[in-house]
Every structure is written in structure tokens, then in C-alpha cells.
Structure 1
Amino acid sequence: MSKPKLSEKLNNFSQLLIPIVALFILVVFNLIRDPAFFSIGIKVNNLGHKVLTGNLVSILNGASELVILAIGMTLVTSATKGQDISIGASAAIAGSMFVKILRAAPAITVPTILGGVVVAALVAILFCLFNGILISKFNIQPMIASLILFTAGRPIAYWINGGATPNVESPLLGALGGFIPGCPIPSPILIVILFVVIMVLLLKFTTLGLYIQAVGINEKAAKLNGINPLFMKLLVFVILGVCVALAGSMNVCRIGLINHEKILLDIEMDAILAVAIGGNSLSGGKFKLSGSILGAYIIQALTTTLYAMKVSSTDIKAYKAIVIIIIVVLGSPVVKEFIGKLFKGKPKAAVKLEAK
């Protein structure tokens, strides 16, 4: 296998340039505002275990569900050239099923939890496939197709548990949503690391990523090359269903109950923004998971920064919107083209370096 050309390396770096610059600005701003913002400490929690604390830990921990959903959203965006705006509602359904399985079991054990996640995943996959069929088979625009579940999903989650918001309590759930005894790192961070590694290996050692991008770039050309666009589009919604179930179940473990109205509320917008901030085109085609993951952490870092500045929760969305608009505009093709014209001598230098 030939080594990547210099032009390809520059292109990959340029895709991550906006999120890297945005993260750098956030870091510098916080270091100037409060030099101790990123300090990490160790304290003893209510259970008597030593755990890591600090804003950096809070950012990594708080963005866990968003990172997982941003990965699923990235694949859907790449293959379908659109976004699924119902992932928050789907997560509510998955979380409700997870709670229902736990409450139906005689005791909450590791097999019970695993079984609950599997059932939640199967249910979430069915609902995500509903969107996938509307999009891939009936050619309905993704945002319009997912609007149905966006509207009906949370009421469905409410019905699953008989119109109640039941709670579930267990040391195991507390460990999965908080800290495993003896491990100072929050469990959601470890779950995200494991999930990201699995996804990276899946895309690296299979043709899945290539096929998804091929369908998103040119569906007809992909079909002529033996790729089934219908199957690939449905497959990304299966993966999204797994992401939704994992995020919903993780959130239940965090708070110990299912609130269909509040669980991961508005997270679909943050997931779409994470994809955009990460340099991925919202019109489909090539994608970079690392960009979306970085975008998710940028959004959480911005939220944590605003909370640290004593900004009220009511005003935070407005401030986030302003900052995110700036980031997205700077990463737009128009701005990139303008910058490219300013530095039009750069490509020639790159070609000379590559020739050497």
C-alpha cells in the first residue's frame, strides 16, 4: 500500500483545522480567565472512593452521550446526505425499554443490565430503521422523515412504562453511570473510549467506511461498482440505533430514572453541530469521525465554560448559538475558498515538496 500523498495529508489536516482552532481558543480563553480551570484533583466521593475531579473531567464525562450519538449521526449524514433529528426521542424510547427490563427482573445484575441494553438496542434499531426505510426506499428527505419520530418518540417512551417516570436503583447502575469502585475515572468516559475503539477498528479493517462514503458521494456510481445503496443506508441506521440505545441506557444509569420529557433533550441539535464543527459536510460524502468527536467535546467545553462564568441556563443556548454560528461560518466552503485565494501560492509549494 502506497503512503498517503502530501496533498491528501494537507486535505485531512485542513478538515480538522476549524475544530482544532476552536478548541485552542477555548483553552486559551479559559487559561486567561481562570488558570486553574483545567486543573485535575482527587477527592473522596460519598461512597468513600477516590475519584478524579475538575472541569476537564466534567467535560470528558458530560460529553459521553453526545460523542456516541455524533458518531452515529456522522455515518447517517455521510450515507443519506441528511440528518436524523429524532435521536433524542429515540434515546428516550431506548431508555424507557432499558428501565422496563430492569424493573421486570427480580434483581439487577450484570446479565440483567446487558440484557436490558440488548433489548433497548433492538427496539431502537427498529425505530431507526423506520426512518431508514422512509429515507432509502421512499426517498424522503432525512430531516422530514425523522420529524415523525421526533414528534411521536417521547410520548411513545412515556407509554412504555405505563405513563410513569419510574426510577431504578442499584450499585451496579451507579457504577456504570458514575465510578467503578477502585477506578478514579468516570465510567462513561471508559465506555466512550471502548466504543470509539470498536468503531475505529470496524472502519479501519473493513470496507464499511469506504462504501458509506461512496454511497454519499455518488449513489449511482456506487451501485455500478457493486455497492447496494439501500443496504448501506439501512446499515447506518442500524448503527445509529446501537448508538441511541447506548446513550439512552448510559443516561439512565447516570440519574437512576427515566424522564421521557428531559432525557437527552435537544441533543440531536448538538450532534448535528458536532458533525458540522468537525469539518464534515452536512450534504454527505467523505467524513472524519475524529472531527465529529472533537466537535462534541468542543460543544461540551463551551457549555462548561459558560457555566463556570455564571451564565444562567436560560442564556447558555443563546451564547452557544452565537459561538457555534461563528465556528460553522468559518468552516463553510465560501470562507475556505476565500482563504484559499488569499494563499493561492500555497498549493504550488505543496506540489514542490511532494515532488521532492
Structure 2
Amino acid sequence: MANLAESARSWMRSPISRPLLAMALLFLILAAITPSFYRIELHDGHLYGNLIDILKNGAPLIIIALGMTLVIAVEGIDISVGSVLAISGAAGIYLLDGYPLWIALLAALAVGVLCGMWNGMLVAFLQIQPMVATLILLTIGRGIAQLITSGQILSTSVTSYTYLGKGYLLGLPFPIFIAAGIFALLYLFKTKTAFGLFLEAAGGSKTASLYAGIKPRMILMIAYTIVGACAAIGGIIVSANLGSADSNNAGLWIELDAILAVVIGGTSMRGGRFYLGGTVVGALFIQTLTTAIYALGIPPQSILLVKAVVVILVCLLQSDVFRAKMTFARKKVAVK
């Protein structure tokens, strides 16, 4: 029994325990308010329901948040991922008119990689503050997407492309498998190569890692390149799901959700240790909250407000200082 209690306390100290508890609490509230929220139906071999929608619509956020985790692990940040998503989606749709699918996909991915390398160069080698460096692409990125689309909403009917966003495999939406594949790839990259160790070392102390023979600038460059590629994949999924490229609205504010997903997942903004599994839970929490708001009929104008309140509560619960103060306050009340 003592071992069980100790295991429970150890699990509660784990960073991933808090987002999981927050997710469980949200599910319990939804179960009490609207039990039909969890209904899943099978039509023509495809699964439908709110839970399936959460996984499908959350796939781009999960992918981008996973890339953002690597950047935050080295004390960086990328607020341009929404614009990169828009550019990549626009490039993919634009090139489908006259070029094979594989060229359009490679070009869209290359756009994301180049954007990530640009941000990485500004931050790692020119030593520009990450927020300012990525603000450049955030500002001009949608303008670039507008130039690609000539200010129009481009559409496509190429089924092999739209399948990437709204196709089904084994009864589940195909974007779920893409997100799972990216997670598996980055997890292997973290655990089976030296990169994960170098990333944590560079995030913990760039000076110490430099003396240990690690090149923190190159690690930072790689991290920004990966998040650019992740944003490009998210752009492909979003444009394929819609069958169109909307330069103004595609990926709008997704950078904020991605950063919140990373923080909720237990990764510190100060760098160092990072948790890919926690990021996935954080992204699903945010997507579940968004889906629940729509399902409960809350006015769309209130989404940002409701999301902000919930996220603030979750972040407070994750704060060691806040929990210590609450514990001290409870003890004080108990003494009285």
C-alpha cells in the first residue's frame, strides 16, 4: 500500500500528470453537461463524432506544437508558424494547377523548411531576440501567401491532395495518422539519437553545452528548421481539408495555441527538459475545449475569452509557487 501511495505521489510530480488531470476534469464536466458529446457513430465504414473531430481538427495543432516544443526547449519561440502554414498551403494549392502532386507537396514542405531556416539564422547566428526575429515572418508571411494566390482564395479538386486532409484510413481521418507519424518520428529523434540530449543541454545552459563540445547555435538552427517543416505539414493538412488556400484565415492564431499546448504539456519556457507526450495532451486539451465550446452553443465571439480563462486556471495549477501559496493558505485556515 505504501508503495502504491509513493507511486501515486511520484506520478503527481510528473509534468504530464497535470495536463492529463486537466483533460480528465474537462471530460467529466462535458459528460455531466452533455453526455451526447461522446457519441461515436459508424457510417460507410467511417467513424464520426466529437471525439473523432477533436483528433482530426487537432492534428495540425499537434504537429506544429510538437515542432514548437523543440524550439522552446532551447529557450526559443516561433510566433510565425501560422503565417508559414498559410504560405505552404498556398504554395501547395497553387502548384497543383499544372504540376504533379509530389512536386506540389515537396514545394510546400520546402517553403516551410526555408522559413524555418530563415528564422533559425536570425536567432542562432545573428543573435536577434526570438520574438522579434519570428515577428518579421509573422508580419510579412501572409503578404507572401497573398502574392502567391494573387489575393484570391484558390481551390482544388485534386482528390489525391484533398485526401490528406479529409480522407479516411481504417475508419479514421487520415490527418490522425499523419500526426501520429510525426510524433513517432520526433520521439525516435529525441530518444534514439544524440539530438534530444544536445537539445536539452543547450536549453539548460548554452555556455555549459558549448564547453561540453555541443554547438548550441546549430542545435537551435535545426530546431527552427523542424518547426518550419511541421508548420508546412500543418498547412498541407489544412488546405487539403478545405480544398482551398485562404491566405488571410488559414492558421490564424495557431501559434498561440501551439505555445499554450507546449506550456500546458509541462515544457518550461526557460528551456531544458521537454515533453513531447505532454505537448500532445496539451494540444488535445485545447482542441477539446474549442470543440466543446461549439458543441455547447456558446457564441463564437466568446471562444477566445473562455479559452483564456480555462488556460489561465490550468497554468495556475501548474505553477509550483501558486500551489505552495495555496497549501500555505489551507494550513493557515486549518490552524485557525
Q: Which moved more, 1:333-342 or 1:53-62?
A: 333-342
Assess if the C-alpha contact under 8 Å between 1:274 and 1:296 holds in 2.
yes
In 1, the alpha carbon distance for the partners of 2:217 and 2:307 equals: 36
Q: Percent identity?
A: 34
Structure 2 match to 1:186: 173
- Runs of at least 5 residues in structure 1 that lack an aligned partner in the other structure: 1-5, 44-48, 106-111, 344-356
SS at match of 1:63: helix
| Closer/same/farther in 2, CA of residues 341 and 16 from structure 1, 3 Å limit | farther
Matched letter for residue 199 of structure 2: I
Matched letter for residue 166 of structure 1: L
- Say what the alpha-carbon RMSD is for the aligned residues: 2.1
SS at match of 1:84: coil
Which of 134, 137, 147 is the equivalent residue of 2:135? Answer: 147
Structure 2 match to 1:271: 258
Tell me by how many angstroms 1:303 deviates.
0.8
Matched letter for residue 132 of structure 1: G
Q: Which moved more, 1:267-276 or 1:199-208?
A: 199-208
Matched letter for residue 304 of structure 1: T
2:159 paired with 1:171: yes
In 2, the alpha carbon distance for the partners of 1:65 and 1:333 equals: 31
2:113 paired with 1:118: no
Which of 213, 224, 228 is the equivalent residue of 2:215? Answer: 228
2:245 paired with 1:258: yes
2:297 paired with 1:310: yes
- Output aligned runs, 1:286-301, within 5 Å: 286-301=273-288
In 2, the alpha carbon distance for the partners of 1:169 and 1:288 equals: 39
Assess if the C-alpha contact under 8 Å between 2:38 and 2:51 holds in 1.
yes
Assess if the C-alpha contact under 8 Å between 1:117 and 1:245 holds in 2.
no
Tell me by how many angstroms 1:219 deviates.
0.3
Matched letter for residue 35 of structure 1: P
Matched letter for residue 190 of structure 2: L
2:117 paired with 1:129: yes
Matched letter for residue 93 of structure 1: I
| Closer/same/farther in 2, CA of residues 103 and 296 from structure 1, 3 Å limit | same
Structure 2 match to 1:217: 204
Matched letter for residue 73 of structure 1: M
Which of 73, 76, 80 is the equivalent residue of 2:71? Answer: 76
2:50 paired with 1:55: yes
Structure 1 match to 2:334: none
In 2, the alpha carbon distance for the partners of 1:12 and 1:120 equals: 42
Structure 1 match to 2:333: none
SS at match of 1:53: strand
Matched letter for residue 40 of structure 2: I
SS at match of 2:134: helix
Matched letter for residue 82 of structure 1: G
In 2, the alpha carbon distance for the partners of 1:302 and 1:82 equals: 27
2:147 paired with 1:159: yes
2:10 paired with 1:10: yes
Q: Which moved more, 1:291-300 or 1:89-98?
A: 89-98
In 2, the alpha carbon distance for the partners of 1:20 and 1:13 equals: 12
Tell me by how many angstroms 1:335 deviates.
2.1
| Closer/same/farther in 2, CA of residues 340 and 228 from structure 1, 3 Å limit | farther
Assess if the C-alpha contact under 8 Å between 2:47 and 2:171 holds in 1.
yes
Tell me by how many angstroms 1:161 deviates.
2.8
Matched letter for residue 217 of structure 1: G
SS at match of 2:16: helix
| Closer/same/farther in 2, CA of residues 303 and 177 from structure 1, 3 Å limit | same
Assess if the C-alpha contact under 8 Å between 1:124 and 1:242 holds in 2.
yes
In 2, the alpha carbon distance for the partners of 1:339 and 1:231 equals: 42
SS at match of 2:46: strand
Matched letter for residue 302 of structure 2: D
Structure 2 match to 1:354: none
Tell me by how many angstroms 1:336 deviates.
4.4
After the TM superposition, which parts of structure 1 deviate over 6 Å for at least 4 consecutive aligned residues? 339-343
